[in-house]
C-alpha cells in the first residue's frame, strides 16, 4: 500500500469552539494516522508565507490575519489517499455548499472562518508539511 501524507490545520475558529478532539477523532476514524501534531499561534509573516499561493487574491489580508488570530492545531495525516480522504472529511470551502456530516458543514461560520485547512495535492502537501515540520518530527 502506498502511504500518502497531508497537512491539516484546525483554524482558530475550530480551536475556539473546542472541537479539536472531535476533528482529530474524525481523521482517526477514517483510518488516517496522526504522525505529527502541534499547537501554535502563527505570526502574520508565518501566515503570509504559508498562504503565499493566495497572495494576489482579494481576501489575502483577511485570510492571513484570521489564521494568525489565535492558536491553531497543525497535524500531518498519513494513509492511503490521505489527501482526498481529508478533503472529503472537510467538505466544500464555503460551508453553505458543504455536504452534511462534513467538518465545515458541522462547524464553519463562513468561507473565511471555515475551521480546517487541508493540502490539495501531493506537491502542496510536501511543501506544507516541510513548512511546519522537519522529517525528524514525523513518527514512523
**Which residues of the chain form contacts with ligand ATP (CB under 6 A)?**
54, 59, 62-63, 93, 111-112, 114, 117-118, 120
Q: Give the CB-nearest residue to Mg ion.
A: 120
Smallest distance from the beta carbon of 136 to Mg ion, in angstroms? 27
Q: Give the CB-nearest residue to ligand ATP.
A: 93
Alpha-carbon gap, residue 101 to 124, rounded angstroms: 26
Cβ(117)–Cβ(108) under 8 Å? no
The answer to whether 54 is a known catalytic residue is no
Alpha-carbon gap, residue 76 to 132, rounded angstroms: 10
Cβ neighbours for 51, distance < 8 A, ≥ 6 positions apart:
60, 63, 64, 67
A 10 A CB-CB count for 23 gives 22
Residue 5: contacted member of ligand ATP, Mg ion, none (CB under 5 to 8 Å, by partner type): none
In the bound state with Mg ion, the residue whose beta carbon lies nearer, of 29 and 56, is: 56
In the bound state with ligand ATP, the residue whose beta carbon lies nearer, of 59 and 131, is: 59
Smallest distance from the beta carbon of 24 to ligand ATP, in angstroms? 16
Q: Give strand pairing partners of 74.
A: 9, 38
Task: Lay out the site mask for Mg ion across 102-121 (x = CB under 5 A, - = otherwise).
Answer: ------------------x-
Residue with cell 522537519: 134
- The CA R_g of the chain, rounded to the nearest whole Å, is 14
Residue 115: contacted member of ligand ATP, Mg ion, none (CB under 5 to 8 Å, by partner type): none
Q: Which residues are catalytically annotated? A: 117
Amino acid at each position: 500500500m502506498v502511504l500518502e501524507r497531508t497537512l491539516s490545520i484546525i483554524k482558530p475558529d475550530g480551536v475556539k469552539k473546542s472541537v479539536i478532539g472531535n476533528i482529530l477523532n474524525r481523521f482517526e476514524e477514517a483510518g488516517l494516522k496522526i504522525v505529527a501534531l502541534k499547537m501554535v499561534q502563527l505570526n502574520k509573516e508565518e501566515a503570509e508565507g504559508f498562504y503565499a499561493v493566495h497572495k494576489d487574491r482579494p481576501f489575502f489580508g483577511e485570510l492571513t490575519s484570521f489564521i494568525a488570530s489565535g492558536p491553531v492545531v497543525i497535524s500531518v495525516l498519513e494513509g492511503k489517499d490521505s489527501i482526498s480522504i481529508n478533503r472529503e472529511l472537510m467538505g466544500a470551502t464555503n460551508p453553505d455548499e458543504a455536504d452534511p456530516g462534513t467538518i465545515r458543514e458541522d462547524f464553519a461560520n463562513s468561507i473565511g472562518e471555515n475551521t480546517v485547512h487541508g493540502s490539495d495535492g501531493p506537491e502542496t502537501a510536501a511543501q506544507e508539511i516541510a513548512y511546519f515540520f522537519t522529517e525528524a518530527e514525523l513518527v514512523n
